[in-house]
Amino acid sequence: MEWSWQFVEEILPDLFRGFLVTIEATILGSIVAAILGLVFAILRRSDNRLISRPVGFIVEFIRGTPLLVQLYFLFYVLPDVGIVLAPLVAGVIGLGLHYATYTSEVYRAGINNVPRGQWEAAKAANLSSFQTWRYVILPQALPPMIPALANYFIAMFKETPLLAAITVLELMNEAKSIANYTYRYIEPMTMVGVFFLAVSIPSVVVLRWMERRFGRIGQE
């Protein structure tokens, strides 16, 4: 099989359209994972066991099952109970939910790293629980977590081809359908790799920079 630049040029617009969907799914999934992970982490710290235990169970359950299975459930099983989700919506929820279980561990570690004295000072200053999180704990806990969170978002980005299984027309799915009607695999699959590298290599550079920038904040 010979490499054809002309073929590459022909399929590039389709691939690029798929690539934009991949980026969209990654960004939206990251937002869901970032917010939901924080919610999981805070609820798991609750003194009320009726909250912390079930949330802990849900997190472990989601983390302990494959993302692909979860995507199938969201897209092919939920319609049986009357919940019909668009492919991209199901994909974003699946990615976000799955990665939220990982980001919640990052948050948990970051929150645990805030010294106990900070909680006590907040209490002595008579801050409410919400004010303590908002003004004292999270501003200290979040910056050192940014590199670890970004790491998961890059990992999520590389898992987006799974969305092809639930008919999302992302990069991998576009490449597959091109291959299916042209019987040429080498160019579309190679270009998929190139697209992913084009994002992940600069991301790693940015990640290294973030590790230097946010790794430490002004400790007392």
Partner 1 sequence: MPDAIIEIDKVSKRFGQLEVLKDLTFNVAPGEKLALIGPSGSGKTTILRILMTLEQINGGHIKVDGEQLWHMPANGGLAPANEAHLHRMRAKIGMVFQLFNLFPHMTVLRNVMLPPILTQGVRKEDAEARAMELLDMVGMAEKATAKPAQLSGGQKQRVAIARALALQPKVMLFDEVTSALDPELVEEVLNVMRRLAEETDMTMLLVTHEMSFAHDFADRVLFFDGGRIVEEGPPDQIFTNPREERTQGFLKKVIAAGQRI
| Identity of the residue, 116 or 212, whose beta carbon is nearer to partner 1 in the bound complex | 116
Under the criterion CB under 8 A, does residue 219 sit at the interface with partner 1? yes
Alpha-carbon span 35 to 166, nearest angstrom: 24
Give the residue from 52, 57, 71 showing the smallest Cα distance to 163.
71
Binding mask 85-124 for partner 1 (x = CB under 8 A): ------------------------------x-xx-xx-xx
The residue written with tokens 């007392």 in the block is 220
| Identity of the residue, 4 or 129, whose beta carbon is nearer to partner 1 in the bound complex | 129
**# chain residues binding partner 1, by CB under 8 A:** 21
Alpha-carbon span 191 to 154, nearest angstrom: 19
Q: Kindly tell me which residue out of 1, 6, 212, 220 binds partner 1, with binding defined by CB under 8 A.
A: 220
Under the criterion CB under 8 A, does residue 80 sit at the interface with partner 1? no
Residue pair 143/213 in contact by the 8 Å Cβ criterion: no
Give the residue from 213, 212, 199 showing the smallest Cα distance to 30.
199
| Identity of the residue, 27 or 127, whose beta carbon is nearer to partner 1 in the bound complex | 127
Residue type for position 80 = D
DSSP secondary structure letters along 20-54: HHHHHHHHHHHHHHHHHHHHHHHHHT-S-HHHHHH
Binding mask 117-156 for partner 1 (x = CB under 8 A): xx-xx-xxxxxxx-x---xx--xx----------------
| Identity of the residue, 47 or 80, whose beta carbon is nearer to partner 1 in the bound complex | 47
Residue 101 belongs to what H/E stretch? helix 87-112
Residue type for position 181 = Y
The least CB distance from residue 55 to partner 1, in Å, is: 20
Under the criterion CB under 8 A, does residue 82 sit at the interface with partner 1? no
Q: In the window 166-205, what residues touch partner 1 (CB under 8 A)?
A: none
Judged by the rule CB under 8 A, the positions of this chain that interact with partner 1 are 115, 117-118, 120-121, 123-129, 131, 135-136, 139-140, 217-220
